Amino acid sequence: MNTAEAAKGATTHPGQPGEDRFGRIESAGIEYLPESERTSRPRNLFLVFFGGNFAFSVIVFGWLPITFGMDFIGAATACFVGIAVGTLLIAPLAILGPRTGTNNAVSSGAHFGIRGRLIGSGLTLLFALAYAAIAVWTSGDALVAGANRFFGTPLNDTMLAVGYAVIALEIILVALMGHGTVVAMQRFVAPIAGILLLIGIFAFAPGFDPSATQAGYLLGDFWPTWILTVVISAGGPLSYAPTLGDYSRRISRRKFSDRSVMIAACGGVFLGLYLSALFGAFTSVSLNALGGSYVADLVAGSPAWYVLPILIIALAGGLGQGVLNVYASGLDLEALIPRLKRVHTTLITSAAAIALLYLGVFVFNAVDSITAMTLILNCCAGPWVVINVLGFLVVRRGRYDPADLQVFNEGRRGGRYWNFGGWNLRAVIPWATGSVVGVLLVETELYSGPLAGLAGGVDLSLAASILAAAGLYLIAVRLWPEPSTPSESKQGGDVILSRHD
């Protein structure tokens, strides 16, 4: 199969100029995709999430625990546990898209209500904007620092602003094209960035000291700081929970099993995140000193021959990660405002991501901004994820009506998921309660909740938010059962069988 065929997406409409393939602007948004148009495969799913993580915006999450005072082993173990826990939590959501034919935010309407699904769209939008901003920040820093070392160009705010603009432009152009171009691009980005990162291990090996640490633990002791790293690391997989369906919905259930889809998605997410975090931790303890920008320190401490590979990683990896987030943000703004087209919403969210970037870098401390952003978003995303997982496994048992999930998008009312004015309070109230509990327990340099000191410095925000939401949701559906769902439903001539492979 050639690249164009492999990249061909699931929304091909013969004769239309918006056919979803490499180099063409994708026409499909969040509407239902029938089986006949699902031409992707699990390996594409793996590739998107594996290669898309080979970027400095993900690598910095291995640098963060070193700046917190951890050594390499502490950082590596904390990142492993956090990413593994987060990946296990989101695993069932990888097979939600093939059942519903749409993305996970829209699919969540089966649990939160047709209008309640806007919670998922809003969370996806926030995650996508934040991580897109980090992608532009880290890649732009590398571009400017590399130019400074190669050509002696200034290293100031003006040059940084220009560097960010260059990276943002390449990301926006690919994201506007859509799924077919994104998948085809990852076929080149993943191996290039992966090989260059592997070479980087040899470049920084002479200075590697696994016991090297910064001065003092961020939270005063090892275990509170280690747990904080676990919680932050879990945010990586959680951020992908709403966007898994952007790609998995394009895979046919008639051709591929649930197991193959889940393994591909989870394997890509876990391996991509963890290997990138390891590289960040490895290189951080290999540098003589760490400042406020990991990438600037990396360029300054790099052997001369490895500066060019760093620039290539910045351009290629930043493109891969940034596009994942900007493409997702466009889809989810469309979910919030269905009358707009995906191209329009992508342009709007791109502008918002750039504004967020400049605010986070030039107004606030970048490290503090990333830490606070991750912890607070985790407290809102964790309850949303666990309610959707329980809704999938316990309440709906994998059975969905794709037609009724599209009620809001089509400007209609009613359907089996309408509930109370479009909101399913069985899920909405537990989600809100769990989120509030988590936010009350968060403690960062930019924000500290009133209950932050409850556990003596140990971060309980994510665990408490998930447990509170899960417990309340299970009680709610037990005392107030959901209406039964049909064993199959029809839309557009397709029969969506409610089965488990």
What does the pLDDT look like over 66-103, one tens digit per residue? 999 999 999 999 999 999 999 999 999 999 999 999 98
Which amino acid type is present at position 319?
L
Cα separation values, 145 from 98, 153, 293, 298, Å: 43, 9, 10, 9
Task: Band the pLDDT of 361: cuts 50, 70, 90.
Answer: low
Give the torsion through C-alpha atoms of 382, 383, 389, 391, to 10 deg: -170
Instruction: From residue 496, give the alpha-carbon distance in Å to each of 34, 244, 252, 280, 408.
Output: 9, 19, 11, 44, 20
Cite the DSSP H helix spans in 287-306. 294-301
Residue 364 has what pLDDT?
63
Distance CA 218, CA 461 (A): 17
CATH superfamily of 40-371: Hydantoin permease (1.10.4160.10)
Section 175-202 average pLDDT: 82
Judge contact between 193 and 51, C-beta under 8 A.
Answer: yes
| Structure token digits, residue 40 | 């992707």
267 pLDDT more than 90: yes
Q: What local confidence, expressed as pLDDT, does residue 1 receive?
A: 35
Whether residue 22 is predicted with pLDDT greater than 50 in this model: the reply is yes
487's tokens = 């064993």
The CA distances from residue 309 to 149, 195, 232, 460, in Å, are 13, 10, 28, 39
In sequence order, the 6+-apart residues with CB closer than 8 A to the CB of 363 are none
Read off the tokens for 343. Answer: 């191209």
Residue 200, pLDDT > 60, answer yes
Per-residue pLDDT tens digits for 127-157: 877 887 888 888 888 999 999 998 889 888 8
Rg of the chain over CA atoms, in angstroms?
22
- On the CB side of 456, CA atoms within 13 Å amount to 3
* Distances from the Cα of 90 to the Cα of 203, 208, 257, 266, 383, angstroms: 35, 34, 18, 8, 11
**Which 3 state secondary structure label does DSSP give 215?**
coil
Phi, psi at 288, each rounded to 5°: -70, -35
CA–CA separation, 27 vs 10, rounded Å? 10
pLDDT of residue 368: 76
Contact 172, 249 (CB under 8 A): no
Within 10 Å of residue 412's Cβ, how many Cβ atoms?
Answer: 12
- Residues 444-469 have a mean pLDDT of 88
Tens of pLDDT, residues 284-333: 999 988 887 898 899 999 999 999 999 999 888 777 777 777 777 777 77
Q: Measuring CA to CA, which residue among 21, 35, 133, 83 is closest to residue 491?
A: 35
Distances (CA, A) of 245 to 30, 93, 95, 101, 347: 10, 8, 8, 8, 21
Residue range 393-399: mean pLDDT, rounded? 92
- Residue 462: pLDDT band (50, 70, 90) is very high
> Alpha-carbon distance 47 to 231, whole Å?
26
Q: What is the pLDDT of residue 27?
A: 60
The answer to whether the CB of 321 falls within 8 A of the CB of 240 is: no
**Lowest model confidence (mean pLDDT) among 28-32, 230-234, 491-495:** 491-495
Q: Distance (Å, rounded) from C-alpha 446 to C-alpha 224?
A: 18
pLDDT at 6: 33
Residue 174 has pLDDT above 80, yes or no: no
List residues bridging with 488 in a β-sheet. Answer: 497
CB 468 within 8 A of CB 383: yes
CA 209 to chain centre: 31
Strands in 345-432 per DSSP E: none
Q: How far apart are the first and last CA of the chain?
A: 26
Has residue 35 got a pLDDT over 60? yes
List the domain boundaries for the chain.
40-371
